[in-house]
């Protein structure tokens, strides 16, 4: 799991057809910007935090987003560069993974 995410940019598919980019740096830092999908209206548009692998799950904790609550995800490969994710609270989605 770590080698599949480390150093990659993950583009979460949004319900309105856009993508939300997250950068998973090899040093365990994750950062993202919601400016492209208009998140500035609802929350701080940029944030960073930490990411790690716990067993088969990808986990992350943001400084501000989600009030700093950590979440973990199960990841399923759908095709090369395409994944499905399920967050531990049941939220699901798909994403594109880029080098």
Sole residue written with tokens 């994710």: 85
8-state DSSP, 91? -
Structure tokens at 95: 């994403």
Residue 74 main-chain phi, psi, to 5 deg: -95, 145
pTM of the model: 0.85
Number of domains in the chain: 1
Range of the domain at 11: 2-98
What is the average per-residue pLDDT within 5-16?
88
Q: What is the pLDDT of residue 44?
A: 54
Q: How many whole angstroms from its chain centre is CA 63?
A: 14
pLDDT for 24-67, tens place per residue? 999 999 998 765 544 444 555 689 999 999 999 999 999 998 99
Distance CA 43, CA 34 (A): 9
pLDDT reading at 3 higher than 90? no
């Amino acid at each position: 799991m770590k080698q599949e995410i480390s150093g990659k940019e993950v583009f979460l598919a949004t319900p309105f057809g856009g993508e939300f980019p997250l950068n998973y740096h090899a040093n365990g830092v994750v950062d993202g910007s919601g400016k492209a999908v208009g998140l500035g209206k609802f929350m701080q548009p940029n944030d960073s935090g930490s990411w790690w692998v716990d067993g088969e799950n990808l986990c992350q904790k943001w400084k501000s987003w989600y009030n700093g609550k950590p979440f973990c995800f199960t990841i399923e490969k759908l095709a090369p560069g395409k994944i499905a994710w399920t967050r531990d609270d049941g939220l699901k989605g798909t994403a594109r993974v880029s080098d």
